[in-house]
Structure 1
């Protein structure tokens, strides 16, 4: 596995695109979710990169941006390895 370092570039307040070199690999956004009677909570939502929203896959919701980036990178590396085996 290659050495990982996050390459997050801010698009606008609360939204980042994650890159591998010049290749876009994911979008991470700060979102607020409602928890019913428990109130609301801010989480970071990570999805795979695709130009159209409907073509993106959810990676997950995370309590901090760094954890979101770590998981995105892990998923991306796993998918690259699988593609190489085919």
Structure 2
């Protein structure tokens, strides 16, 4: 008789994303299965990290775990960039909290900025 273990039926359904082993969490990805059990539709939802669901904000829905993890990472980068920009203008924490764009919008604008062509060819030395 072959050995069987319950882990053979286990499927991961939630991932906490963090930079490095001990890093602070920055996003949570959850796997959802919809529709016909014989031909399920699988989606992954990325949200910002908070200790409880109440404090989390939707980043986006993706078709693959890799895309959802990328969305979480892009949100982290976009938020840090936005936060540094606001701090450089000496914006106080209360104002930053009030003005913070929605997570999905931060990712959308961040990705659009990455796709923009550069200002032109590099300068050539004379």
* CA deviation string 1:15-53 (max 9, x = no partner): 11100231100110111245xxxx852101111000111
* Residue 76 in structure 1 maps to residue 76 in structure 2: yes
Q: Which structure 1 residue ranges, 5 or more long, are not aligned? A: 1-11
Q: Secondary structure at the match of 2:54?
A: helix
Counterpart position of 1:49: 49
> Which consecutive segments of 4 or more residues in structure 1 shift more than 2 A?
none
Instruction: Provide the C-alpha distance between the structure 2 equivalents of 1:83 and 1:20, rounded to a whole number of angstroms.
Output: 18
User: Number of residues paired by the alignment?
Assistant: 71
Q: Which structure 2 residue ranges, 5 or more long, are not aligned? A: 1-10, 87-126
**TM-score under structure 2 length normalisation:** 0.51
Structure with more helix by fraction: 2
Structure with more strand by fraction: 1
Bigger Rg, which one? 2
**TM-score under structure 1 length normalisation:** 0.73
* CA deviation string 1:48-81 (max 9, x = no partner): 0001111100011111000111111111101101
Greater relative contact order, per chain length (Cα 8 Å cut-off, separation 6+):
1
